[in-house]
Amino acid sequence: MESKSPASGSAAESFSMDDFAKALENYDYGFQNGQTVSGKAISYETDGIYIDIGAKSLAFLPVDEASLREIRDPEMILPIGDSRDFLIIREQDADGQVTLSLKQLEIRQMWEHMAELQESTQSMSVKVTGINKGGVTVDVQGLRGFIPRSHLLERDNLESLVGTTLTANILEINQEKGKLVLSNRLATRSAAVSQFEIGQLIEGKISGIKPFGVFVDLGGTSGLLHINQISKNYVESLPNLFQVGQIIKAMIADLDEAKGRISLSTKVLENYPGEMLEKMADVMTEADTRQEKARKLLLNG
């Protein structure tokens, strides 16, 4: 049996190591799909931009991945020499080149921004781009959103809304499903509520009577005078006490801008428990002189 000489074994081993080293030179393990990297624009091609990200090969940014918006001139988005952060959307090919995206990074950042807006209940402007039987589709800073018909102020003629700009609040976000649901009605209510403050005396017209309280029209928005806030004494019958169209004065007891709610109180205007039930006219007549005392009660709890 022939034995292999040390020299021939060493040569084979050396060859395989050299071959492996050359293979490693063509691959950068530091660049993976989904990773954010910094890079500088180097040159333009008809279909994209070459980017230096510090790899052995230049990375490539396709034109359709350069921005959330449609662009004709890539230089308007990324001038030569400019440095930006990019998202790797395709790992290295046979030539060691990775594919980058600014658009996907902007989308990721935009979803994070939408979540912040939802948490802060901040309103935003959106453009209506289309309609369907359930409502309207809108452009939300480059993302596609939806406003249900029930959350639109204008519900009867949806076609007239296409191309217009609406104010909206975010109702629901699901980034994985690309779901962004908004409300135009809630944003309008929130804007109206922001004009008021707790401890303010208001005058309005009763627009509805329910078992739990009465709704008061405050000129563009509505406040609720709950049955427990009418008097310090028990209220047996609201229809016997109020009527639709009646003018009433009340203090603002609470505000919820996120939900567009205004809570009212008249019991804080009473000089004694049950006065609203016995002498409502006196309470209403003297409301202006009683408001400071009532305001202190509300603000100090």
User: What are the pLDDT digits (tens) for 197-226?
Assistant: 999 999 999 999 999 999 999 887 889 999
pLDDT at 236: 93
Rounded to an integer, the average pLDDT of 257-274 is 90
pLDDT at 91: 84
pLDDT digits (tens, 9 = 90+) for 68-107: 777 777 777 888 998 999 999 988 887 788 999 999 998 8
CATH fold of 107-189 reads: OB fold (Dihydrolipoamide Acetyltransferase, E2P) (2.40.50)
Region for 127 from its dihedrals, namely left if φ exceeds 0, alpha if ψ lies in -120 to 50, beta otherwise: beta
| pLDDT at residue 29 greater than cutoff 70 | no
pLDDT digits (tens, 9 = 90+) for 171-191: 999 998 999 999 998 888 777
- The hierarchical CATH code for the domain 36-101 is 2.40.50.140
For the whole model, what pTM was predicted? Answer: 0.57
pLDDT at 257: 73
Of residues 293 and 6, more confidently modeled = 293
| pLDDT at residue 10 greater than cutoff 50 | no
Percent of the chain with pLDDT over 90: 57
The overall average pLDDT reported for the chain is 86
For the chain, give every residue range classified as CATH 2.40.50.140: 36-101, 107-189, 196-299
How is domain 196-299 classified at the architecture level of CATH?
Beta Barrel (2.40)
